Amino acid sequence: MSSIPPNASALSASRRQRELLQQRPIAASLALDGSHLHSIEESHQRCAALGLRRIESPDYSPLGRSDLRLVRERNQRLYVHAAPIMELLFEQIVRTQSLVLLTDAQGTILHSIGDDEFVDRASRVALQPGVNWSECAKGTNAIGTALIDESPTLVHADEHFMHANHFLTCSAAPILDPRGNILGVLDVSSDYHGYHQHTMALVKMSARMIENHWLNEDFRHAMRLHFHSRPEFIGTLMEGIVAVGRDGKILGANRSALDLLQMSGAAVRMHSVTSLFGTPVGAVVDAFRSPVAGPLRLLLPNGQPVHVQARCNWPTWHGGWQGGKDLGEAVEPVDEVAPEGLPAPERNGQASDAVVLQETALRAARGIGETLPPGAEVPGEEARSSPEGSESPVRSAGRGRAAADSGVPVANLRALQTGDPQMEAVIGKVRRVLDRDIPILILGETGSGKEVLARAIHQDSARARQPFVAVNCASIPETLIESELFGYADGAFTGARRKGAVGKIAQAHGGTLFLDEIGDMPLALQARLLRVLQERQVTPLGSSKSIEVDVTVISATHRNLREMIEAQSFREDLYYRLNGLAVKLPPLRERSDLLALARLLLQREKGGQRVPELAPTVVDLMTRYPWPGNLRQMGNVLRTAVVMAGDEPMITLDHLSDDFIEDAQRSPRTPAAASATGTRPAGAPLDPAPAGGAGEPMAAAGLSGVEPSPALGVPGEGESGTLEAMELQVIRQALEAAGGNISVASKRLGISRNTIYRKLRWRNGSAA
Ligand SMILES: Nc1ncnc2c1ncn2[C@@H]1O[C@H](COP(=O)(O)OP(=O)(O)OP(=O)(O)O)[C@@H](O)[C@H]1O
């Protein structure tokens, strides 16, 4: 840990604290304690020393698919232990607009579960698999700072170093192996308005559960002593556990053991059963030979009495234990058994985990009930409050997530009609096939709104009250995608999760299955998916029984599936099965409703408060920028701008990050977006695009965001009347009639595309 800076030590603690509170007013409202403030302050100093800037856009780029696969493979064991506990944790916080995240020891997100609406918001700051959240990548944040401080860490709102992350509140706890090495971090992130003081307790407990599972597996052939000063705490998360070798040496300990013993992991491993509990290991084994043995009462080195229970693979131990000598033989693993009277091995397994977490959440909810957010339900009450109280928990959770509302209404198709003719055409097409059991394939660049459209289709369909289940084929490790989709039967796996699980396809029964990034579906699974879609039956892994499924399928991709078919990486038969109707979303740079969308995004950010205006210079930059990340990227830029602007009524260049300004200034204006600058009222109809016009994307016509591009609109002041102005007006009208498509306009006018560019570039240059 770094030391307190000299100027801080000179100031009185309370004055320093006051200063900090002024700097971070949102977090100040939580009245967090001095050690918390100190840890955040130190982290900010580290970030400043690293040269990080508060207003910069963090590096959002995730690892490539194959790199992510490698990282996940390296951390497969952590995932196997953590995934079921993450699900339990999520069940306790479902509908609180939160995300449960697991990272590796470097802070790279391996796995996430969350409320759909918040997943959407979180993905805008790349709280998603493959993205690294170490402090040096994202500045002060709960994951990165917990990794450095090696302790549970809360980072709330403006305590995040980077402004882009100020909307978050995050509670993270490192996960340690029994030797004290960091395995990864467990984190819950949500919108800071939804802060709950009990979230950190749940995260810490969940991290401990993962650690205990890890320890139990690591030392499944060793004896484990479970101890606590109060016998009723044995078998709970508060119990200390030490693993003991046959020679009586301590091999490892869980975090509670270190707390109870007040020792470091390294110090504990210097001990033996004799030096730690004052009794030779042989005596302990003998004491537990009896099938009715109760806990032993032993003394810790500090004289504190504790109650101790033993667990081990008794047959192996009885055979191997000979008067304290380690036979050193390799022993065949056998199923763990406990003598009668000892806690059964499962007592520390899934069932007790669920109970512990639920009880904690219930206690927290009762104790601080008034701080529960609207809509949050006390665990266990969901089924009662649900109108279809008899449905399965999986189904309820799915519906809860789909309908979860963070103040952003789930859009229907009408809400997506913000004045762009290409969008109008797309929506018109999907409306015609609604409820006709025709699979829809949504194509479009990343961030162009494919998932939002899929949800809107579901929302407007007769299945709206049934689940909408989204599966991102790119973010699930290839090894897990099969079980995620198809589910698995009890006993199909021997890992931490032995109970069966309902797959996503079955979860979507009665509703809509959204297969996002379908182009990333491994080839081997494409055949299986095709069979499910054709037969409308799914067979979970390890089961011989098929389950009938009634789902309507919407899929989406940013890839060119036809090219993939040619390259034999996508099955043609599956393509035709998914493609009852293909619609292509326009990229933002081609949309004429950019300003209307910007306003919607600002409204979302302000959550009912007064929405700031955009200064003309900002509008100019926004309309000339090519927006490679589309709506998602525009949302990020506006979120930062809103935070920077605070209560100011107008967003100006001062509120935008420098790199965005530089990039945008280098970009010429795009024709379609230019019509959103006010030259055409947002929402006013454009001439319908000619056949093949809107269908031919600008990129395909050779107009990329970096090429010079023309502006649309009526002649500027002082332009009208001259020959040149009339020429320009004709070109603009032709372009507008062609939906911004330069190839079509040039053919109609009988002039080359270059002439159009030249004339309009000259006009832009002279107007500048
Ligand atoms: N019409 C819209 N109005 C406001 N925001 C929108 C609209 N469409 C999309 N967005 C926002 O843009 C972001 C990206 O949307 P979405 O996730 O649907 O894109 P996508 O094409 O599915 O992205 P990806 O290809 O990366 O999965 C989201 O934050 C979403 O809320």
- For the stretch 565-594, pLDDT in tens is 999 999 999 999 999 999 999 999 999 999
CA dist 275 and 268 (Å) reads 10
Q: Is residue 279 part of a domain?
A: yes
Residue 115 near ligand 1, beta carbon < 6 Å: no
Residue whose CA lies nearest to ligand 1 atom number 15 = 449
CA of 632 to the centre of ligand 1 (A): 6
**C-beta atoms surrounding 67 within 10 Å:** 12
Q: Is residue 163 part of a domain?
A: no
The candidate with the shortest Cα–Cα distance to 554, out of 445, 395, 438, is 438
Residue whose CA lies nearest to ligand 1 atom number 13 = 632
Contact 664, 624 (CB under 8 A): yes
CA dist 729 and 710 (Å) reads 12
CA 438-423-427 angle, 5° bins:
30
pLDDT of 339: 31
The number of the ligand 1 atom at minimal distance from the alpha carbon of 423 is: 1
Q: Are residues 439 and 517 in the same domain?
A: yes
413-419 long-range Cβ contacts below 8 angstroms, 24+ apart: 413/456, 413/457, 413/459, 413/460, 415/456, 416/449, 416/452, 416/453, 416/456, 418/593, 418/596, 418/597, 418/600, 418/682, 418/683, 419/592, 419/593, 419/596, 419/682, 419/683, 419/684
Q: Are residues 308 and 432 in the same domain?
A: no
Residue whose CA lies nearest to ligand 1 atom number 25 = 446
371-380 long-range Cβ contacts below 8 angstroms, 24+ apart: 371/196, 371/197, 372/196, 373/96, 373/97, 373/193, 373/194, 373/196, 375/95, 375/404, 375/405, 376/93, 376/95, 376/96, 377/95, 379/91, 379/92
CATH number for the domain that contains residue 732: 1.10.8.60
Q: Are residues 506 and 629 in the same domain?
A: no
Tell me which of 584, 604, 625 is where a domain ends.
Answer: 584
Q: Are residues 573 and 607 in the same domain?
A: no
Q: Are residues 470 and 568 in the same domain?
A: yes
Counting the structural domains of the chain, the total is 3
Residue whose CA lies nearest to ligand 1 atom number 1 = 416
Higher pLDDT among residues 607 and 269, named by residue = 269
Q: Are residues 444 and 552 in the same domain?
A: yes
Check whether 206 has a pLDDT greater than 80: yes
CA of 330 to the centre of ligand 1 (A): 56
Residue 632 near ligand 1, beta carbon < 6 Å: yes
Q: Are residues 522 and 571 in the same domain?
A: yes
Q: Are residues 290 and 270 in the same domain?
A: yes
Handedness of CA 716, 722, 726, 728 (dihedral sign): negative
Contact 175, 146 (CB under 8 A): no
Residue 424 near ligand 1, beta carbon < 6 Å: no
From first CA to last CA, the distance across the chain in angstroms is 53
Residue 631 near ligand 1, beta carbon < 6 Å: yes
Q: Indicate the top mutation candidate among 191, 451, 471, 630 to test ligand 1's pocket, ranked by most ligand atoms within 8 A of CB.
A: 451
Q: Is residue 406 part of a domain?
A: no
pLDDT of 382: 28
Higher pLDDT among residues 479 and 32, named by residue = 32
Residue whose CA lies nearest to ligand 1 atom number 2 = 416
Residue 124 near ligand 1, beta carbon < 6 Å: yes
Per-residue pLDDT reduced to its tens digit, 438-484:
999 999 998 899 999 999 999 999 998 888 998 888 766 666 777 78
Q: Indicate the top mutation candidate among 631, 633, 634, 638 to test ligand 1's pocket, ranked by most ligand atoms within 8 A of CB.
A: 631
pTM across the whole model: 0.45
Between β-strands 325-326 and 250-253, what pairing exists: parallel, antiparallel or unpaired?
Answer: unpaired
Residue listed under structure tokens 């002041």: 717
Q: Are residues 526 and 460 in the same domain?
A: yes
pLDDT of 368: 29
Is residue 183 very low, low, confident or very high in pLDDT (cuts 50, 70, 90)? Answer: very high
Check whether 363 has a pLDDT greater than 60: no
The candidate with the shortest Cα–Cα distance to 361, out of 32, 33, 96, is 96
Tell me which of 542, 559, 584 is where a domain ends.
Answer: 584
Tell me which of 555, 584, 613 is where a domain ends.
Answer: 584
Check whether 726 has a pLDDT greater than 70: no
Residue 596 near ligand 1, beta carbon < 6 Å: no
Check whether 324 has a pLDDT greater than 50: no
Stretch among 11-20, 127-136, 590-599 having the lowest mean pLDDT: 11-20
Residue 555 near ligand 1, beta carbon < 6 Å: no
Residue whose CA lies nearest to ligand 1 atom number 31 = 120
Q: Are residues 421 and 570 in the same domain?
A: yes
Between β-strands 296-299 and 305-311, what pairing exists: parallel, antiparallel or unpaired?
Answer: antiparallel
pLDDT of 695: 28
CA of 579 to the centre of ligand 1 (A): 21
Is residue 102 very low, low, confident or very high in pLDDT (cuts 50, 70, 90)? Answer: very high
Residue 372 near ligand 1, beta carbon < 6 Å: no
Residue 519 near ligand 1, beta carbon < 6 Å: no
Q: Is residue 42 part of a domain?
A: no
CATH number for the domain that contains residue 331: 3.30.450
SS3 100: strand
Distance of CA 491 to the CA centre of its chain: 29
CA of 17 to the centre of ligand 1 (A): 40
Handedness of CA 695, 701, 706, 712 (dihedral sign): negative
Q: Is residue 154 part of a domain?
A: no
CATH number for the domain that contains residue 551: 3.40.50.300
CA dist 682 and 623 (Å) reads 13
Check whether 630 has a pLDDT greater than 80: yes
C-alpha gyration radius of the chain: 30
Check whether 350 has a pLDDT greater than 70: no
Stretch among 111-115, 318-322, 419-423 having the lowest mean pLDDT: 318-322
Q: Is residue 723 part of a domain?
A: yes
Residue 516 near ligand 1, beta carbon < 6 Å: yes
Residue 597 near ligand 1, beta carbon < 6 Å: yes
Q: Is residue 542 part of a domain?
A: yes
Residue 442 near ligand 1, beta carbon < 6 Å: no
Residue 116 near ligand 1, beta carbon < 6 Å: no
Q: Which helix (H) or strand (E) holds 355?
A: helix 350-367
Residue 724 near ligand 1, beta carbon < 6 Å: no
Give mean pLDDT, residues 699-728.
39
Residue 452 near ligand 1, beta carbon < 6 Å: yes
Q: Are residues 251 and 273 in the same domain?
A: yes
- For 544-565, give one letter per residue: b (16+ CB within 10 A) or e: eeebebebbbbbbbbbebeebb
pLDDT of 14: 65
Is residue 385 very low, low, confident or very high in pLDDT (cuts 50, 70, 90)? Answer: very low
Q: Are residues 436 and 329 in the same domain?
A: no
What is the extent of the structural domain holding 288? 221-335
Q: What ipTM describes this predicted complex?
A: 0.98
Q: Is residue 138 part of a domain?
A: no
Strand order of the sheet with strand 168-176? Answer: 109-114, 98-104, 182-191, 168-176, 153-156
